[in-house]
Each structure stands twice: as structure tokens, then as C-alpha cells.
Amino acid sequence: AEELKIAVGAMEISDKTVGDVMTKIDDVFMLPDTTTLNTKTVAEILRMGYTRIPVYSGDRNNVVSLLFVKDLALLDPDDNFTIQTVCNYHQHALRFVLLDTPLRVMLEEFKKGDYHLAMVNAIVEHDDQDPSYELQGVVTLEDIVEEILQAEIVDE
């Protein structure tokens, strides 16, 4: 049955990690927190078609919040609010996971329900200082579901 194949697919994800299915950092649509939300920028955000947009301060490695496209619905473009102002108002939860997190673990996290997108970090070792985090991409529930369905199709 279809359900059984999907269950088999789900088991096959067990040796994969978040790093295998994430959207890589260079392909992530992010915006600086200083962006003014006027007619032009709002149109660009809508055109990209993403539900959630990581927001960074300074450089792209420093993601500080998430902007939800639905936050823009009641915004007046003439107010010229910055993304920072809108994000401070909504305060959506921002989660980080490590690149080598098993998909099984990530799926359980998402199933708990309070978030469906996580920022993906790698730990980078340095010779002369403490290890640091480096942003690698984003992972969503959709990426994992896709992987499960793909495993199912390959299986046939």
C-alpha cells in the first residue's frame, strides 16, 4: 500500500542529515534588518514567494530574526517601517540546528509543532581561537517530507 511505501521511505531517511536536504545559504533569500518596507521592497518580497525570510544584522552569517510574509498584510507602505521594527513587534521564534542533525531527529522536532523552519549552522574549528558557528542554510519540514517521498519513488 501507499502508506507502507511512505513508511519505508521514512525509515530510509534515517542515515541522512539536515545538511543533505537543506537549502544552501547562497540560495537563501534573506534581507538586512535595516531594509525599509516600502512599496518596492514589499513587492520584491512578495515576488520571491517565500513564507518566511531570515533577517540578518550586519552580515549574512548573523541572522537575528524571521520575517513572515503574512506580517506585511496590515502594513502601510507609506509608514516606511524597517524590517527590524516589524520583527521586534512579532518576535517569531528563531531556531538553529547543526548541519549533522539526523533527519529523524529534525522531523521529531518539527512534529512537536511550534516551528517549521530552522537555520542550519556548522561548527568551524580555528587554530588560534574558540570554535565558531557558520551559517550553512535553512531547513524546513517541506525539505524532509520531500526526502521521504523521494525515497519512496526510488524504491519503486
* Alpha carbon 22 to chain centroid, angstroms: 8
Q: Which is nearer to ligand ADP, 10 or 28 (CB)?
A: 28
Binds ligand ADP (CB under 6 A): choice among 51, 57, 61, 88: 51
Interface map 81-120 toward ligand ADP (x if CB under 6 A): ----------------------------------------
| Residue 52 sits in the site that holds ligand ADP (CB under 6 A) | yes
Instruction: Say if CB 65 and CB 53 are below 8 A apart.
Output: no
| Residue 80 sits in the site that holds ligand ADP (CB under 6 A) | no
Q: Which residue has the cell 511512505?
A: 6
Q: Which is nearer to ligand ADP, 1 or 153 (CB)?
A: 153
Binds ligand ADP (CB under 6 A): choice among 25, 28, 37, 97: 28
Q: Smallest distance, Å, CB 21 to ligand ADP?
A: 8
Which string of DSSP letters, residue by residue, matches 30-82? -EETT-B--HHHHHHHHHH--SEEEEESSSTT-EEEEEEGGGGTT--GGG--B
Stretch of 7-15, 80-88, 96-104, 136-144 lying at the interface with ligand ADP (CB under 6 A): 136-144
Q: Which three cell numbers stand for residue 128?
A: 588560534
Binds ligand ADP (CB under 6 A): choice among 53, 67, 97, 148: 53
Q: Is 24 helix (H, G, I), strand (E, B) or coil?
A: strand
Instruction: Say if CB 37 and CB 83 are below 8 A apart.
Output: yes
Q: Rounded to an integer, what distance in angstroms lies between the CA atom of residue 48 and that of residue 45? A: 5
Q: Which residue has the cell 513587534?
A: 89
Binds ligand ADP (CB under 6 A): choice among 12, 29, 41, 92: 29
For ligand ADP, the binding residues (CB under 6 A) are 23, 27-29, 50-53, 138, 140, 142-143
